[in-house]
Amino acid sequence: MPEALNLVDDARPAQREAALELLDFLETQAPFPGPARIGLTGPPGAGKSTLLDALVRALRQRGRSVAIVAVDPSSQRSGGALLGDRARVRSARADPGVFIRSMAARSRLGGLADATHASVTILAAVFDCVFIETVGVGQSEAEVARVADSVAYVAQPGAGDVLQYMKAGVLELPDVFVVNKSDRPDASQTAAELATGLSLSEPGAGGWTPPVLLASARAGTGIDAVEAELERHYRHILESGELDARRRRAREAFVIEALTRRYGSFGLDRVGGPDAVAERLREAGQSSFALVGELSRRIERALAAPAAPR
């Protein structure tokens, strides 16, 4: 499996072909709904990794295997990156039931790496639960919502932060809010402000009201509730049909992004633009990966062909 993850990150043409083939197989053969894909985001220092560590330990105690894709930003100047989350998720240790792949966001400012969708597809074929962890930098909530079934936002206690969240539109996307470090005196206050802030925004699709939970990853309190709420959300969207819709939107977003990155929106328009992609994915039987391959070839032909005479 580590080799498969290397493959889907490989930019060389032959490897890219092989990767698309493997991913196509996985996406078309994977049973629905498969394992939950949980996004975990929040500002630096909120304790995402520590919370993740506690969640993973709880899941492991019940015998569930866990995979984590941890994305860290790249230096825009050197292109390098320090991928540090492994250090915090201590439960991975030498346990074969826990898998972590750290990824650099590279040229993507929004927080997720290009290979995230592909990596999650691979890991979901093997593990009982897949987490996608990324630093919350405003944009990344939206990006993580595009690959995850459920998004948990980890906040830390702090007066006034909630207003900033609201301004940044952070409250719109997450399905579960966790105020970590609940042993701090201002934690309940922050949770109350968050709940108020949420009550002011539009109710989410399918009648889900995001819960605001208090937890202390360090003391190990509130972790079970976080896990239970994530599971409740997963069941909720599964039953309402929202899960299916989210997965489809994730595939759409992946195809559109993959093509736009390579050929620009000019290239994408040659094959009908985003709407055509959505249309094609609604037709059963073809994976997002096969579609990227097919549309890439069509775009390349269209771009190579001489302009039609007017």
- Provide the mask over 192-221, with x wherever binding to other proteins is found by CB under 8 A and - wherever it is not: ----------------------------x-
Q: Which of 10, 172, 269, 300 binds other proteins (CB under 8 A)?
A: 10
The answer to whether the Cα torsion of 169, 171, 175, 178 is positive or negative is: positive
| Contact status: 84 vs other proteins (CB under 8 A) | yes
Question: Exposed, middle or buried by CB within 10 Å (0-12, 13-18, 19+), for 116?
Answer: buried
The gap from C-alpha 279 to its chain's centroid, in whole angstroms, comes to 23
Min. distance of Cβ 206 from other proteins in angstroms?
A: 35
- Of residues 11 through 70, those in contact with other proteins by CB under 8 A are 11-12, 15, 45, 53-54, 57
| Contact status: 79 vs other proteins (CB under 8 A) | yes
| Contact status: 300 vs other proteins (CB under 8 A) | no
| Contact status: 6 vs other proteins (CB under 8 A) | yes
Select 57 or 232, whichever has its Cβ closest to other proteins. 57
Select 117 or 247, whichever has its Cβ closest to other proteins. 117
Min. distance of Cβ 93 from other proteins in angstroms?
A: 6
Min. distance of Cβ 24 from other proteins in angstroms?
A: 19
Select 135 or 237, whichever has its Cβ closest to other proteins. 135
CB count within 10 Å of CB 104 equals 19
Tell me how far apart the alpha carbons of residues 33 and 307 are, in angstroms, rounded to a whole number: 45
| Contact status: 262 vs other proteins (CB under 8 A) | no
Identify whether the C-beta of residue 38 lies closer than 8 Å to the C-beta of residue 133.
Answer: no
Lookup: tokens for 201 = 């925004």
Please name which of 48, 196, 56, 58 lies closest in space to residue 130, comparing C-alpha atoms: 56
The answer to whether the Cα torsion of 228, 230, 233, 235 is positive or negative is: negative
Tell me how far apart the alpha carbons of residues 69 and 85 are, in angstroms, rounded to a whole number: 10
| Contact status: 137 vs other proteins (CB under 8 A) | no
Min. distance of Cβ 73 from other proteins in angstroms?
A: 9
| Contact status: 93 vs other proteins (CB under 8 A) | yes
| Contact status: 87 vs other proteins (CB under 8 A) | yes
> How open is the CA angle 177-65-63, to the nearest 5 degrees?
100
| Contact status: 101 vs other proteins (CB under 8 A) | yes
Write down how long the chain is: 310
| Contact status: 123 vs other proteins (CB under 8 A) | no
Beta strand residue intervals within 105-184, DSSP E = 129-135, 150-155, 176-179
Tell me how far apart the alpha carbons of residues 108 and 254 are, in angstroms, rounded to a whole number: 14
| Contact status: 80 vs other proteins (CB under 8 A) | yes
Min. distance of Cβ 252 from other proteins in angstroms?
A: 25
The letter for the amino acid at 272 is: G
Which residues sit at the interface with other proteins, rule CB under 8 A? Answer: 2-3, 5-6, 9-12, 15, 45, 53-54, 57, 72, 74-75, 77-84, 86-88, 90-94, 96, 99-102, 104, 106, 220
